[in-house]
A and B are shown apart, each in its own frame.
Chain A
């Protein structure tokens, strides 16, 4: 009995830790099956038609969102006339888990044919290893370079001006606010950060949660950390600090850290914000439970009258990123971006795929804009009729926007520091960390991780 128990216990303990250790292998296995599915069609079929080839797009955005749906529709249309081309779309939950899965696929040599990535330090590594298609060259070959808004392309570029992704989205980021709440308390939208904090305080004292934020995806909170440095230094602070050339204890860094610390510890973010996800945060605002919600113009249609509750009708306004004394950037410079980019695997990029990309770029601007979206193309939006008022307001705002745009933390930092910053920032916002300690910890992280990525 005793001997059995010993072996049983040992075997059991070992068996139990296996799933952890084999996580990497398990991923390999699942990729193998996916690859089998995306391989060539059976030889029998090849006799009659040109070989049907399946390409996979691993999507880092909402699979049911406008960009993914538009591409999918265009791909289906294309397959009708080009039966040799077939696009399958695969998505996954939130952004952090998408990135984990993508990077595991790539580490095990299973890079998807198409996938979404920011032009971050990780993508730069892929470029260095010659794994991505040069999209700047691709656009030139296809004669499409001038079809895009310049900022849409600039956002996709690396610091040296090279480009390996294509934009599918375009948007400005604004603070949406509940006009009635503001009016009732006699508040006008803020233009400076001091006013912003005062307003948040007024709302809080009237028992209104000032701001709804999605803490689960990390990037929305990271935006708050980027606001003040952008006003104080333009993009210099982020670009320098990511390589350890500046410190988080510099004025721009401390201002940023204290800002998030204040917002969180004074209860200006909704309680439990760290576990609120994207839609839950938006719904808090739309249900009239918070007064302010920072988000990109890609959400504009969610605020249109036919989508929202009667109480919220004609009740949603927006204001731009506040500014401060001695700001280096103009009030109409703020976060403008063309979203996560679309990258192509160099090894599997063939003429078949190139044909599709050309077709996609021809059809996308119209199809996408018709879904009530702002496109990265210079597509004439004036033709669009019957859109809600708020759409036109944002459209005008985009026309007035400046030429300098803020870059986000998560597209600039190395992956290790980024992972840490996202986690610790939520802790800072919850008052679990002292701003000074936070700054030192981040400096340490950069010192350790950055040299591997920025040489």
Chain B
């Protein structure tokens, strides 16, 4: 066994099937989308080659596209804040308790395993205005009647309303990841810092934070790319509406391809999303590297 694992060729042979699967499931669809993006095609008529027209149209005179892009950025900001910051906060709180820790961990993790459709239904009733949902009911009971509103169709609040469920859903997941990173910090480092008189604030910023940074970076990348491809919950809750208030790039791409029957243009947007995600990853890495 030992011998086989030391043989580089053997390792390559073992890796090969995975590579093939990867190429077929990952690279092929991307290349396929790139190919489609150079055509005008409605799904019935013959495909027509139009060069870069789809990209020109997308980048120069599609107002909805830029509106969706802008919405997507807000969506990313809310989700990354909720998932990483709140996830980290909960994880830190968890490290301070011992009794019932497993119970809390399990409870917080539960939303991550519920399907999107169920989550959407849940939040549909939470945000509901007529019949009155929990959120508006609670606001009413606290005498904040002026704050009650149909959250999902309010032009100012709809985008926040569709972002929160997705953010909330995976707090538990990031909590687990960050929690694991936090407890893996050797306790003698912490003790030494304590003895040297470090405040808990200093302890976090100068000791814990640098030590969990690689994991933190991975969580930020995961949360960001996850939010960039945000689709299911916004689509189910508001379908991009009212107007275009909650339109994200993926929902707009989907509608362009499958409702407006512009498969080529939809593919061009898909390619944009891939590039955008890769750029986001590169950007986050650069930011984190610079800080150190």
Give the B-binding residues of A (Cβ under 8 A).
Answer: 1, 5-6, 8-10, 12-25, 96, 99-100, 103-104, 106-107, 122, 125-126, 129, 131, 215-216, 270-276, 284, 289, 415-416, 419-420, 423-424, 426-428, 430, 432-433, 449, 452
**With A and B bound together, what is the CA distance between A247 and B129 in angstroms?**
37
Instruction: Determine if B277 and A17 form an interchain contact, defined as CB atoms under 8 angstroms apart.
Output: yes
A410 to B240, CA, bound (A): 19
Contact B242 A22 (CB under 8 A): no
**How many residues from B make CB contacts under 8 Å with A?**
56
Which residue in A12, A17, A126, A289 is a CB contact (below 8 Å) of B273? A17
A-B contact pairs, 7 of them (CB 8 A): A5-B218, A9-B218, A16-B222, A18-B26, A96-B239, A275-B152, A415-B259
B206 within 8 A of A: no
User: Are B239's CB and A427's CB within 8 A?
Assistant: no
Min Cβ gap A434→B in Å is 12
Determine the distance from Cα of A347 to Cα of B26 in the docked complex, in whole angstroms.
Answer: 34
Nearest CB of A to B34, in Å: 10
Inter-subunit contact B259/A99 (CB<8 Å): yes
Contact present for B218 and A432 (CB under 8 Å): no
B218 contacts A8, CB within 8 Å? yes
Closest Cβ of chain B to A153, distance in Å, is 25
Identify the interface centre among B30, B228, B237, B260: most chain A CB within 10 Å of its CB.
B260
Cα-based distance from A113 to B12 in the complex (angstroms): 48
A-B contacts, CB under 8 A, total = 163
A22 near B218 with CB under 8 A, answer no
Q: Which 8 A-B pairs have the closest CB atoms?
A: A427-B243, A272-B150, A107-B43, A416-B260, A272-B153, A274-B242, A100-B258, A21-B29
Given the interface pairs A15-B26, A289-B130, the reply to whether A419 lies near B260 with Cβ below 8 Å is yes
**Assuming A17-B277, A20-B250, is B238 touching A426 (CB within 8 A)?**
no
Kindly provide the distance from the CB of B196 to the nearest chain A CB, expressed in whole angstroms. 27
Besides A14-B278, A215-B241, 5 other A-B contacts (C-beta < 8 A): A12-B225, A17-B229, A122-B261, A415-B260, A415-B261
Taking CB as reference atom, which chain A residue is nearest B247? A423
Tell whether, in the assembled complex, residue B25 and residue A18 are in contact, meaning their CB atoms are under 8 Å apart: yes
Q: Which residues of B contact A13 (CB under 8 A)?
A: 221, 225, 277-278, 280-281
Find chain B residues with CB under 8 A from A125 CB: 42, 44-45
Given A419-B255, A432-B243, A433-B243, are A452 and B273 also a contact pair (CB < 8 Å)? no
Q: What's the minimum C-beta distance from B292 to chain A, rounded to whole angstroms? A: 11
